[in-house]
C-alpha cells in the first residue's frame, strides 16, 4: 500500500499543549515507568490521559509548570529531538524529556520524517 500523502507537518519548535497529552522528565537511559523521573499531566487533559493509560491521573501527577517546562525544552532543542510513533524525546544534560502526543494527533500517523527530526508528517489537518 502506498504511503498516504501527508497533509500536515508539525515543526517541533512550535510544539504546544494541543499536541501533547503527557510529558516525562527523568534520568536519561533509565527506566521510564516513573521510578527514575516524573510523568506530568495538566488539568485540561487529565481525564483523557487517565482514560488512555487505563487508570486515573492522581492530583500529585498534575504539574502544569513542569509540563510546560518539558515542552519548552523540546521546542528549544527541536533539532535534536528523536521522533517516534507516539512521542518525541530530547536528551539533554543527563535527562530525557519526552512528550507523549495527543491521541487525536497520532491518529493517522504516516511515519517519521525522511530528512529531519525537526518536523514530522501527519495527515491530520487543522492541528497547529
Interaction site with Zn ion (CB under 5 A): 31, 33, 35
Nearest approach, Cβ of residue 71 and Zn ion (Å):
23
Tell me if residue 103 falls in helix, strand or coil. Answer: helix
Minimum distance, C-beta of residue 33 to Zn ion, in the bound complex (Å): 3
CB-CB neighbours of 37 under 10 Å: 19
62 close to 41: Cβ distance less than 8 angstroms: yes
Q: Per the structure block, which three cell numbers stand in for 87?
A: 512521542
Cβ distance to Zn ion smaller for residue 36 or 77? 36
At closest approach, how far in Å is the CB of 96 from Zn ion? 13
> Which CB, 17 or 53, lies closer to Zn ion?
53
Choose between 34 and 111: whose C-beta lies nearer to Zn ion: 34
Taking the complex as a whole, how short is the minimal distance between the CB of residue 78 and Zn ion, in angstroms?
27
At 67 the three-state DSSP class reads helix
The Cα angle at residue 50 between residues 27 and 106, in degrees rounded to 5 = 75
Nearest to 27 by CA among 96, 85, 75, 128: 96
Amino acid at each position: 500500500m502506498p504511503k498516504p500523502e501527508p497533509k500536515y507537518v508539525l515543526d517541533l519548535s512550535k510544539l504546544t499543549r494541543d499536541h501533547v497529552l503527557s510529558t516525562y522528565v527523568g534520568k536519561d537511559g533509565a527506566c521510564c515507568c516513573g521510578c527514575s523521573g516524573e510523568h506530568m499531566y495538566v488539568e485540561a487533559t487529565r481525564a483523557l490521559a487517565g482514560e488512555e493509560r487505563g487508570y486515573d491521573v492522581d492530583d500529585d501527577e498534575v504539574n502544569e509548570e513542569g509540563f510546560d517546562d518539558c515542552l519548552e525544552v523540546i521546542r528549544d532543542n527541536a533539532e535534536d529531538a528523536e521522533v517516534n510513533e507516539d512521542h518525541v524525546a530530547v536528551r539533554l544534560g543527563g535527562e530525557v524529556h519526552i512528550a507523549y502526543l495527543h491521541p487525536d494527533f497520532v491518529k493517522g500517523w504516516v511515519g517519521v520524517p525522511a530528512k529531519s527530526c525537526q518536523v514530522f508528517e501527519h495527515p491530520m489537518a487543522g492541528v497547529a
